[in-house]
Chains A and B, each alone.
Chain A
Amino acid sequence: MQSTLQNEVDVRPPQAEEPLLQVNALKKYFPIRRGFLRKVVGHVKAVDDVSLFVNEGETLGLVGESGCGKTTTGRCILRAYDPTAGQILYRDPTLGKVDIAQLEPEQLVHVRRSIRMIFQDPYASLNPRMTLLEIVGAPLRAMGLAKGKELEDRVAEMLTLVGLRPEYMRRYPHAFSGGQRQRIGVARALAPGPKFVVCDEPVSALDVSVQAQILNLLKDLQERMGLTYLFVAHDMSVVAHISDRVAVMYVGKLVEVASTADLFSSPKHPYTEALMSAIPVPNPRPREKRILLTGEVANPANPPSGCYFHPRCAYAKDICKVEDPPLEEVEPNHFAKCHFARELSLTGAIRRKL
C-alpha cells in the first residue's frame, strides 16, 4: 500500500540539508508532592518520549487536547522548563549546533535571541504598566542589542512590520483591542530577529475576523523573514491552514506525524481519525458518520497500560493493552504510533480526489 500521494502535490518547502531543530526522546515529568514533608508520590508525565524535527522555513503544527503536553513541549524547546531527559538539537546562527537541554545560562541567552515565543492570551501576556516601547524594547534591552534612539527606531520598525502605527509606542496595552495586542506580542517576539518561533495557541483567544488577520500576518512574516514556526493549537482547521506538517499528541506522546495533506486525507492512527471526525465543519450538510470517542482523556499521572489510547480505541485488540507501540514510519514521511497502522483503513477529514 505505497502512497502515490507524495508525487501529486509537494507542499513541503525546499529541504535544508538537515533539520533546524531536532528533538530526541524529550521527557518532562512534573513531580506530585503530598503531605507535610512534600514527599514525591508520583509524576505527571506531561511529555513522555517525544521525538520530532522541524525543517528550516516550514511550519510544524502540534495538535492535541488540553493536557496532552503540547504547550509543555513548546516550553521545553525554549528551556522555559528544564526537560527531565532528552536532547533538543538546534542549529544556532552564532553558536552552531547545540543541545539546548544541556546549555549553560550564558549560552542560553544567545539561543533565546533566535528562538522566541508568542503567547496565547494577549490580555495576560502584556504587562499593563509598560508602554509598547518598553514591552517591545524589553528583549532588545535585556540582550544588549540596542538602546536609546536606536532602540526607539527598532521598536518603531517592529510596530510598522506587524501593522501598528509607530506613533502609538508610548501608549499602554489597555488602549488596544485583542487583535492589536496580539500584534504587539508578535512584535515583541520578533524584535531580536529570531529564526524559530514557538506560537502557543496565538489565535485561540481572538474573534473569528481578527483571527484571520493574525494568521495572515504570521504567514506574511514567515515569508518575508524566513521564519520557522512550531504552531501549537487545538483548532484543526487553523492548523491545516497554516502548517506544512502536523504532529498529533495524546497524553504526552506523539501518536502521528505527517504532511498536512496526508494526515488529513489518510490518517494512520485511530486517535487522529476520531479527532478529525469531531471537528465542527461550517457546512450544514449532514456528515456521513461521526466517530464519537467514549470516556475521558487518560490521566498523565496514572496512564493506562500498553497503548495509552486503547481504552477509547474502537480498533483495540489484546496486544494494545499490553504493549506500547513504537512511532514508526508507516509510509514515506508518515509516522504513526499504532500496532495496526499499516492494516487499518481510516477516514480522514477530507477525502482527496485521486
Chain B
Amino acid sequence: MDESNLLVEIKDLHTYFYLAEGVVRAVDGVDLKIQRGKTIGIVGESGCGKSVTSLSLMSLLPPSAKIVSGQILYYKREGKPGENSTVTCIDIAKLNPNSREMRSIRGNEISMVFQEPMTAMIPVRTVGQQIMEAIILHRNVTPKVAREMTIDILRRVRMPRPEKVIDDYPFQLSGGMRQRAVIAMALSCNPSLLIADEPTTALDVTTEAQILDLMRALQHDLGMAIMYITHNLGVVAEMASEVAVMYLGRIVEQTDVQSIFFEPLHPYTRGLLSSIPHLDESILNPNRSRRLNVIKGMVPDPYSRLQGCPFHPRCPEAIPNLCDRIVPTVTEAKPGHMVRCHLYGEAPSEKEPQVNYAINPSK
C-alpha cells in the first residue's frame, strides 16, 4: 500500500450506543484504510455497523452513541499534489463534533450521499438553495457566483435543464433526479472523500445503472475517493476496487474485489456469496428443485455478546472449543488479503491472554 496516498486510516474504532436496553457495540474494533481516488466497498447485512462506521467518520453520531476508543486519522493535503503540498494528520475521533475544525471537514473534505433522497433534502427549500448553502459556507463567494457554481455542478451530475431545476423543489423531481441533486450537493465543495451510504437502494434498476455510471464518471473527473456502503454484492462488484465485509461490528475480510468474489476466505463471505441467486445458473441449468445455500440462523440480537468469534453459532466450519472461546485476530492469509478467522491463523497457545476489550466483557 502506498502510504503517501493514504487518505483515511481508521484504527481499532469502537463506537457504542448506550441505550436503556443496554449497550450496543455497533462498531467493535474496525481497522480500515482508504486510499486517495479509490473506491472501497463496505458490505454487510443490516446491523453490522457499516453505517455507524461512516457516521463516526463524519462525526454525525446521535447523542446516544459514543466513540469509546480508537482513532480516525484524516490526512488532509493542502496545495497541489507534488513538492509543495503538505499533509496534516487530524484525528476526527478526538474532535468535538461541533468544533470549527470538524465543520470545516464535514461537507467540505468529506461529504455523504444518503440512501433516501427524499429525506436527505429539505422539502420546503429549492434544490438550488440547498446546494448553495454548502458552497457559501465553505467557499468565500458571493451568492451570484455560488449560483453559477451550482448550475455548473448540476450540469456535472447530468441533470437535465439545470437552469430550471435549480429553482425547483425536491418534490418536483423524480427519484433519479433527486439522487442526482443529492450527489451534486455532496460534490459541491469538491471533497476528497465521498461516503455513499446505499445511494441506489431506493432506486429502480435502470435508474440505479444511470447513477452508478455517473458516480464512476465523476470519480474519474474529480478524483475523489468513494466509500461505498451497500448490502448488494452486485453493486460492489461494479463499483469497488477494494472490499471490506463486515459482520457484527467488525471487518471479517478485506481485500481487492477480484479476490473477494473469486477466492473468498471467510466462511461468512462465502455464505453470503452462495446465498444470492446467480443469474447464469438459473438460466443455464434450470432446475425447479434447486435451492439456495443459506447461512443458518440469523444475526443475533444486538444487546447480547457472544464469546469468541461472533459468527461461530452460524458458521459451518466452526472449530469447537476454539471459535466459541477466543476472538480471532486479523491475519494476512495472502498478500493484501486480510481475514479475521481462526481457519487462517495459527492456533493460539492456551496461555495467550484473551482479547482485550475496551469495556470489561464480564459486565
Contacts and interface: CB of A to CB of B under 8 A. Distances in A.
A260 B287 CA distance: 11
17 contacts: A11-B286, A66-B204, A180-B298, A207-B299, A211-B275, A236-B279, A237-B282, A241-B282, A241-B290, A274-B206, A278-B205, A279-B234, A279-B279, A281-B237, A282-B237, A284-B237, A284-B261
A9 B290 CA distance: 15
A216 B231 contact: no
Contacts of B279: 236-237, 240, 264, 279, 281, 349-350
Nearest to B285: A9
Interface in B233-249: 233-238
A256 interface: no
A3 to B, nearest CB: 15
A187 to B, nearest CB: 17
Interface of A: 9, 11, 13, 65-66, 177-180, 207-213, 215-216, 219-220, 223, 234, 236-238, 240-242, 244, 260-261, 264-265, 274-275, 277-284, 290, 292-293, 296-297, 349-350, 352-353
Nearest to B234: A280
B213 interface: yes
Contacts of B100: none
A169 to B, nearest CB: 19
Nearest to A219: B291
Contact of B206 (A65, A209, A283): A65
B205 A65 contact: yes
A14 B288 CA distance: 12
Nearest to B175: A66
B283 A264 contact: yes
Nearest to B239: A280
A297 B204 contact: yes
B293 interface: yes
A22 to B, nearest CB: 23
Interface in B261-294: 261, 271-273, 275-280, 282-284, 286, 288-294
A236 B234 CA distance: 12
B231 A207 contact: yes
B235 A280 contact: yes
Given A13-B288, A237-B276, A280-B235, A350 B204 contact: no
A278 B209 CA distance: 5
A284 B206 CA distance: 19
Given A208-B276, A284-B237, A296 B176 contact: yes
Given A207-B231, A280-B238, A240 B282 contact: yes
Contact of B283 (A223, A265, A297): A265
Given A209-B295, A212-B293, A240-B282, A296 B174 contact: yes
Contacts of A13: 288
- Chain B interface size, as a band, is 35 or more
B273 A280 contact: no
A353 B280 CA distance: 11
Contacts of A279: 205, 234, 279
Contacts of B284: 350, 352-353
A44 to B, nearest CB: 15
Interface string B283-318: 110101111111100110000000000000000000
A240 B283 contact: yes
B203 to A, nearest CB: 9
A177 B299 contact: yes
B209 A290 contact: yes
B278 A280 contact: no
Interface string B220-237: 000000000001111111
Contacts of B204: 65-66, 234, 297
Contact of A277 (B209, B231, B236): B209
Nearest to A238: B277
Contact of A275 (B206, B238, B257, B290): B206
Contacts of B236: 282
B5 interface: no
Given A209-B272, A237-B276, A290-B209, A282 B282 contact: no
Interface string B333-350: 000000000000000000
B273 A260 contact: no
Contacts of B238: 280-281, 284
A217 B69 CA distance: 43
A216 B290 CA distance: 9
A284 B283 contact: no
Contacts of B206: 65, 274-275, 278, 293
B304 to A, nearest CB: 13
Most buried by B among A179, A242, A290, A296: A296
A213 B272 CA distance: 12
A13 B163 CA distance: 56
Given A65-B204, A208-B231, A293 B210 contact: yes
Contacts of B257: 284
Give 3 nearest A-B pairs by CB, closest first. Answer: A280-B234, A241-B277, A278-B209
